[in-house]
Structure formats: structure tokens, C-alpha cells
Amino acid sequence: MQFASLAAHQMRSPVTAIKSILQTLLGGYVGPLSDKQRELLGKADARCDQALEAIRRMLTIAQGVEREEWAERVVDLAGVCRRTLPRYAPEALERDISLASEVPSGPVYVLGNEAAYVELVTALVDNALKYTPSFGRIRVCVEELSEADRVRLTVADSGVGIPEDQREKIFEPFFRTAAVKSLTVPGTGLGLAFVKAIVDAAGGSVRAGKSDLGGAELVVEVPAARPEETAEAEEKRKKEARPMKVVIVGGVAAGPKVASKIIRLMPDAEVTIVEKGKLLSYAGCGLPYYVSGVVPEQRQLMSSAVGMVRDAVFFQQVKNVRVMNQTEAVEIDRRGKRLRVVDRVNNRQLWLDYDRLVLATGASPVVPPIPNVQLGNIFTLHGVHDAEGLKIALAERRARDVVIVGGGLVGVEMTEALTYSGSRVTIVELAPQILGILDWEIAKLVELHMESHGVKIHTSTRVERFEGTEKVAAVVTCRGILPADLVILGSGVRPNVTLARAAGLELGPTGAIRVDERMRTSDPDIYAAGDCVECHGLVTGKPCYVPLGSTANKQGRVAAINICGGRNPG
């Protein structure tokens, strides 16, 4: 198992890199694709997803086996099944497959690791769905074998079945029956091997047979928890029977990710998002494209992959998450574990109790202290409100000469939107290069590409003041005067930590909230994620500040897993 863990770690990076390259090709960023090329690349991308899922499963199992003494852990296997099976209901419904659950409503305790048992049930149901045709049947059954002090989990289906002479071989890595191969159903051949690894670690057994439904039947038997262990687990379950209350401050990037992941892992949790603004879960990285008109409607910034708008109604009805938008969090009572909020529509105040609090308060744009920075048509770009102002200015054709102060990600992304609208764009950057996150050679290539499209770039240049009457007319730099109808300040952001500081939470040297690797703050019941927290540099080993949407989403996922009792990273 230690070798499997090492191999999985080594495989994850190259497979992820291959997937990134495939996504770049599929996105058309290196040129147009023929239909055949797109089809082949799509198949390769799907295989990468399967490989990454296999790697993730391998790591989960290996970590569970290595980290804990299985004989000392008690898991409610019936509860694991009840939480896992609903995830497959949409696919079963779409394919007209009957997914029957014969799982006791109460707990059935076994020995082992909960995360690994989740993977076990997932692998068995995945396998059954994969090889059961439309209009077929699947049955999941959990029963206690009191005479043998064991618990049996059975997953039966009406699929292709398993030949009698191959029923032992299917648990070998990469083995697939001839009938399965003929179906051309994608798979890694590792799912049942993972199942056997988990069962062996738990001291159980697994076998394959013929189901009374006509297909395959996979039977797992694992040791039941001893009476004294069951009594202790039952007492703990009763104490935890009340749904966990999670309050999340912030509803743009990390906050919605935390909420969605918690509901997936703990469907009974009471999750509330408190958001000061009106809009939720919008794609901040898409704002330049909204300004340029590539994204024509504001609602598309909040749309899911299937076109559903992620508004308060969506989160309540689809995610079962309560949303309080246009509501500001103003005080944390750590001793009483409650949060004071103010509804900015009617100015009503109330306290929200919590078991766990998540701060996803984001960041605010830095407005440099440059003389006359208050002139009209000088914008930041850190939200839909800013984007609307830019959009109006461009629509009225009042922005022929645009100066972007700062050559970071926001400034560079905006150049495409502005050149698309016909504006003449100049970037002014104090540092010797734009895009400080890149090596000098790569940044220079970006500069040359932008200049070839008419963008002027002034590096090592300081802005001294803005000139104009009511609206900006010129930007005075240390190297001369630049005409400007519109200015965008892209001087970075600073973390919003007012609430955390007032509550006495520890801040790091970057000025952001200090968190551990599991996104816990200095208060073990308060987590934080997104642009308000500092990260740990893998190369330098020092605290750093990385306010990126991708980072925020990953941090939100990590926070949610740990809030729900998981352990991430392992």
C-alpha cells in the first residue's frame, strides 16, 4: 500500500499536466481543430479524468490504511450507503435504471476507515451502473450476520455478469472480462482491485457471483464492531444527531465552494451564506469578457455548466443552502459561537449561531495615493459594479485612449477587452516587467505579443498624477504625459480582514488571515479560505499571498472536507 501511495503521488502531476495540455488544445488556443482531432482529443481528455479519479481513489485508500488502526475505528456502513447512493440517482433516472436500496434506516457499525468505505461503496455502485444497460436494475443491500459477527454489503445488477471461471480474476489490477471489453465502456480496471485492498485491510472478504437480477453480484463481508465499540459509537452518534450549523461569510468564490462541498459530504448540515453584495458565485475572472461583450449578459457570469443561474433561489432549491445576500457580517462572538449580521435592505440586525464559521471575505482593490485619483472615469476592476461602469464608458465611446496602471493579471486581461472595443491601450508598470508572477523571459514574450496587437507597454515607469477637470484627461508619468479618456487601476488587492482582526484571529506577515494546512484559523471552530487568507509557498517555505480564483476554490474544498470530519491534505 505504501508503494501504491508513492506511485499515485508520482503519477498525479504528469497526468494533470497532460490534461492541461489537452484542455489548451481543445480550447483552440493553439489553432483551429478538425472534427476528428477534437473527437480524439476529447477521448484522451476523458481518459485523463479516469486516471485522475483512479489516482485520487488510490491515495484515499492508502492514506486511510496507513494513517489509522483499522481495528480501532468504528464506521456506520449503513450511513455511508445512505449518503452515497443519492449521488447516483440522477444518472439512474436518466437511463431508466431502477436503483433499489435495502439499507437499514439505523446504524450498522463495522470496523475500518470511513473515507475508505465511501470509496468502496462508490466503486461498487460505479461498477454496477457502468455495466448495467438502460431499463436495468441495481440493488444495494446491507445486513448484519449476527451469528458470524460480520456485516454483509451486496451490490447486485442486471448487467453483463461475470463468467464463473473469471470471478476471482476480476479483483486483479487491470483485469477486464471479454464481455466488458466488447462493450467499449471506458474504465481503468482498478475499481474492484481497490475494493479488495480496502476489504483486506479491514480483515474481511469479497467475492463475485451471479445475481438473481441476471447480472453480477458482488458480496463484501467485514467484521462487525464489538458491542462495547457499538455502544460508544451510538452514544457519539446521538450527540452528533443535531445537524451541524455552518455559517459562511462571503458568497463569491471560496464561500459557495465550501457550501456546495459540505452539502455533498454532509447533506443534513445547515449551511448559511452571508454575502454583503447582491450577486453570488459569479466568475470574477470573466469580468473582462463581460466588459468587452464576449459575455453579453451579467447572468452568464453566474451560470453553471448546464446554464442554471447560481442565485439565492438556486442555492436554496438545488444546493439546500440558505443565502442571506445584501447582508453584512459585523461581529463574531467567539465565546458564544455566533455571528452578528445586518440586513442592509431594512437595517435589521440578528445573531446567527454556528458550530463552524468560515470566513471567505475576499479582498478589496488597492487604490494608490496618486494625486487626483478621485477624478471621473478612473476605475478599479474588482466586481460587477466596476465592470458595469467600464461597460457604460465603452458603450458611449468615451474611452478612445485607455491607460492601465499596473501590469498584473487584471491589467493584462483587460487589454483584450479594450482593444476588442477599439480603444488605444497603454499599460504603465512600475516594475521592470509586466506579470511579475512569470519569469522575465516569458513575460517579455507576452509583452511582444501585446505590442504586436497595438498595446503600448511602459515598464519601470511611475505614475505621478492624473490631470483633468471633472474626468481624467491625462496621466502624468516620470517619462512624460499620456492622453487618457479612461484609467483602470490594476495595482493589486489587499485582504479583507477587518472582521477577523476584530475577533482576535491571528493574522500572518502578509496581512492576511493565518491558517494551517487544513484552512483552520487560530480558533479551531473558525476556518478561512480565498483572497482573505495567506498561503504557504511550496518553494520558499514562507508565507505568501496568492489572491487567485483557482486557489480560492481549492482552499474552499479543503476547508469543507475538514469541517465534515475528513482529513485533507492527508
Exposure string for 461-471, b = 16+ CB within 10 A, e = fewer: bebeebebeeb
Cell numbers at 200, concatenated:
483486506
Q: What is the pLDDT of residue 69?
A: 47
Query: Which helix (H) or strand (E) segment is 143 a member of?
Result: strand 137-145
At residue 290, what is the residue type? Y
Q: What is the pLDDT of residue 182?
A: 62
CATH: 2.60.40.10, 3.40.50.300, 3.50.50.60, 2.30.110.10. Which one for 245-364+496-504+518-527+544-563?
Answer: 3.50.50.60
The pLDDT profile of the chain, 570 residues, written as one tens digit per residue, is 554 555 555 677 778 888 888 888 888 877 888 888 888 888 888 778 767 776 766 665 555 555 444 445 788 899 999 988 888 888 888 889 999 999 998 888 888 878 788 888 988 998 899 889 999 999 999 999 877 689 999 999 998 888 888 888 888 877 777 666 666 666 556 778 888 888 888 889 999 999 999 999 999 999 888 777 676 666 665 655 578 999 999 999 899 999 999 998 888 899 999 999 888 877 677 888 888 777 888 878 876 655 666 666 777 776 788 999 999 999 999 999 999 999 999 999 999 999 999 999 999 999 999 999 999 999 998 888 888 888 887 777 667 899 999 999 888 988 887 887 788 999 999 999 999 889 999 999 999 999 999 999 999 999 999 999 999 999 999 999 999 999 999 988 999 999 999 999 999 999 999 999 999 999 999 999 999 999 988 888 899 999 988 899 999 999 999 998 887 775
Q: Give the residue among 399, 412, 419, 403 at the shortest CA–CA distance from 370.
A: 403
A 10 A CB-CB count for 279 gives 20
Q: Give the residue among 2, 44, 6 at the shortest CA–CA distance from 23.
A: 44
Q: What is the DSSP string of 314-347?
A: HHHHTS--EEEESEEEEEEETTTTEEEEEETTTT
Residue 326 neighbours by CB under 8 Å, 6+ apart? 275, 276, 277, 278, 343, 344, 345
Q: What is the pLDDT of residue 62?
A: 59
Cell numbers at 23, concatenated:
484542455
Q: What angle do CA 327, 545, 488 make, to 5 degrees?
A: 70
A 10 A CB-CB count for 446 gives 16
- Domain 69-238 is found in CATH 3.40.50.410: no
Q: What is the pLDDT of residue 474?
A: 97
Cell numbers at 559, concatenated:
476547508
CATH number of 378-491: 3.50.50.60
Distances (CA, A) of 501 to 258, 303, 399, 508, 512: 22, 34, 40, 11, 10
Q: What is the pLDDT of residue 239?
A: 59
Active-site positions read: 285
